[in-house]
Structures are given as structure tokens and as C-alpha cells.
């Protein structure tokens, strides 16, 4: 549907577009994996876990006693971490990953950020991990999971890009499709009615002020066109235990496959 047409419909029939936008936010699109990503998944021990109405695909690559949980982004999946997984295995880590509800090889259905975050909290407990890596929106899920489970404590956490405000993500999508501010307000009201939460204050820069993380490292490409780097900067400025490293030439997705970045992640975990 053309952007100009959606903008017109947003003005004439806002409730119709609210339903359209709601479906976009709750039904993630599945991106095809590369052959090497599938190959790395094939080397894992696979399991399935029931979570709400979903069958969640779990992956384990067994190594030493040091454990890492990987948390992909919205519309991502565990296979996106394939290059990092191979490097962590080479350094004798046991690596855990999963496909979030309606992502990857998990079963499909309407889902939400809040279900994603709830699952992250459950898996941190299940695997008893003290090290985490997230990509993009996965950082929102992790920080919210830690914020809502204050007994959980993490030693080291790497965020490969991170958004800040939930409403900024909505703005990005709405701008792309030409959806109006009035529709945005109606959608926020619908989400708040369903969740009982203040969506406008669902911000990573607030969550990080109280979560228990010993050391955090945020790595963000200064020219990222999906999540502008100022959002990571705002998160870091509110997080006393976090360092921000700016990189270039990786974009938003290739950062997961960039050798120097992967080297930084492993070095961060190895150093005291």
C-alpha cells in the first residue's frame, strides 16, 4: 500500500489504520536465514519449550562452564548470531539462544514486546547465565526483563545497538508508512489498555538506572540508519556501568558479522 494512500486513510478512517498498525507491531515478519546461519543452528542441541500459546525453539552449543545467552532483535532470530556463536564456541563458552514467540522456528501467532521480555526473564533463570548479548530490540527486552525482575543480576552484558524509547520505534514504523500522529495516539491508548502500562515511559534509558548489571558494553555504528546512535548515547548516559563504543562501516545488521566487533565482544567477556 502506497505511503500517500495510507496517510489519506489514516485521516479518513483512523480506527482502520490503528488495526493495521497493531497487526504490524504484533505479527513480526520472518527474514530468511543465510546458509551459514542455518549451518550453525544445525550444530546445536535443539529443544522446545511451551510459553503461553507458543512452542519456543531453544538452542544450545555446549562448551565450558562459562555461559552466554544471546537475545536477537524484533523480526530477528537466533541464527543471526552465527558468526558470534562460532567464535564463542572457539573460546569454550556454552552458548544458549532462542527464537522469540512468532520468530524464527518458534510457532507463529500474535505476540508483543512484553511477551518477548517475559520470555527473556524466564530463560535467564532457566540457564542461570551471568553473561548476555543482545542485538537491537533485544536490548529493550533484556533491560525490561531485568527491570521487572530485580532479583536477577548479570555480570557482563553486550548490546549490539540498542533503541531507547518504545514510542521512537513506533515513530520509525509510522514515518515509513505515512501513518499519522492521531493514529499513533489511538494505538498507544489501545496498547496501554491491554497491558496496563505507560507506553510513553517504556524507555531503556529509564530501565538501566536500576537494573543489576556489573559491566555493560554498547557497540553502535555511528551511521546506523535503522536505530540512530543518539539513542544508544542516551541509554549510556543514564547507565553508570556502561561504556559506548562507536564503530563504522557495519550498518545495523552487518554489525553481527563484523570480525572486529565480534572480537570486542569476546575480549569484553574475557577481561576482568
Q: Per the domain annotation, does 61 fall within a domain?
A: yes
- 257/187 Cα distance (integer angstroms): 35
pLDDT of residue 272: 67
Give, to the nearest 10 degrees, the angle between helix 113-127 and helix 138-148: 70
Pair (103, 2) in one structural domain: no
Confidence at residue 10, expressed as pLDDT on a 0 to 100 scale:
67
CA distances (Å), origin 268, targets 82, 116, 248:
19, 26, 19
- Residue 153: closest CA among 132, 169, 167: 132
Residues 108 and 5 in one domain: no
Q: Within a domain: residue 35?
A: no
Q: What is the pLDDT of residue 183?
A: 82
Q: Kindly state whether residue 40 falls inside one of the protein's structural domains.
A: no
Number of helical H runs and strand E runs in the chain: 11, 8
91 vs 173: CA distance, rounded Å: 39
One domain, residues 192 and 92: no
Residues 212, 161: Cα–Cα separation, whole Å = 20
Residues of the chain with pLDDT under 70: 1-8, 10-11, 13, 176, 272
Residue 41 lies in a domain: no
Instruction: Output the nine-digit C-alpha cell for 72.
Output: 536477537
Amino acid at each position: 500500500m502506497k505511503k500517500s494512500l495510507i496517510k489519506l486513510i489514516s485521516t479518513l478512517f483512523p480506527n482502520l489504520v490503528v488495526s493495521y498498525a497493531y497487526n504490524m507491531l504484533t505479527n513480526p515478519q520472518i527474514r530468511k536465514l543465510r546458509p551459514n546461519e542455518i549451518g550453525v543452528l544445525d550444530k546445536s542441541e535443539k529443544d522446545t519449550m511451551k510459553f503461553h500459546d507458543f512452542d519456543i525453539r531453544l538452542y544450545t552449543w555446549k562448551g565450558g562452564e562459562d555461559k552466554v545467552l544471546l537475545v536477537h532483535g524484533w523480526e530477528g532470530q537466533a541464527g543471526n548470531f552465527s558468526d558470534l556463536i562460532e567464535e564463542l564456541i572457539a573460546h569454550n563458552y556454552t552458548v544458549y539462544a532462542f527464537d522469540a514467540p512468532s520468530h524464527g522456528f518458534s510457532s507463529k501467532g500474535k505476540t508483543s514486546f512484553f511477551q518477548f521480555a517475559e520470555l527473556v526473564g524466564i530463560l535467564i533463570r532457566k540457564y542461570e547465565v551471568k553473561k548476555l548479548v543482545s542485538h537491537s530490540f533485544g536490548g529493550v527486552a533484556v533491560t525490561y526483563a531485568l527491570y521487572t525482575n530485580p532479583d536477577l543480576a548479570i555480570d557482563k552484558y553486550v548490546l549490539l545497538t540498542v533503541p531507547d524509547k518504545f514510542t521512537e520505534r513506533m515513530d520509525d514504523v509510522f514515518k515509513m508508512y505515512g501513518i499519522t500522529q492521531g493514529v499513533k495516539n489511538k494505538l498507544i491508548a489501545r496498547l496501554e489498555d491491554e497491558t496496563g502500562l505507560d507506553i510513553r515511559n517504556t524507555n531503556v534509558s529509564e530501565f538501566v538506572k536500576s537494573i543489576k548489571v556489573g559491566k555493560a558494553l554498547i557497540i553502535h555504528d555511528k551511521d546506523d540508519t535503522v536505530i540512530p546512535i543518539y539513542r544508544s548515547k542516551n541509554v549510556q548516559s543514564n547507565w553508570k556501568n556502561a561504556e559506548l563504543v562507536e564503530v563504522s562501516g557495519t550498518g545495523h545488521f552487518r554489525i553481527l558479522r563484523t570480525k572486529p566487533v565480534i572480537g570486542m565482544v569476546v575480549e569484553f567477556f574475557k577481561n576482568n
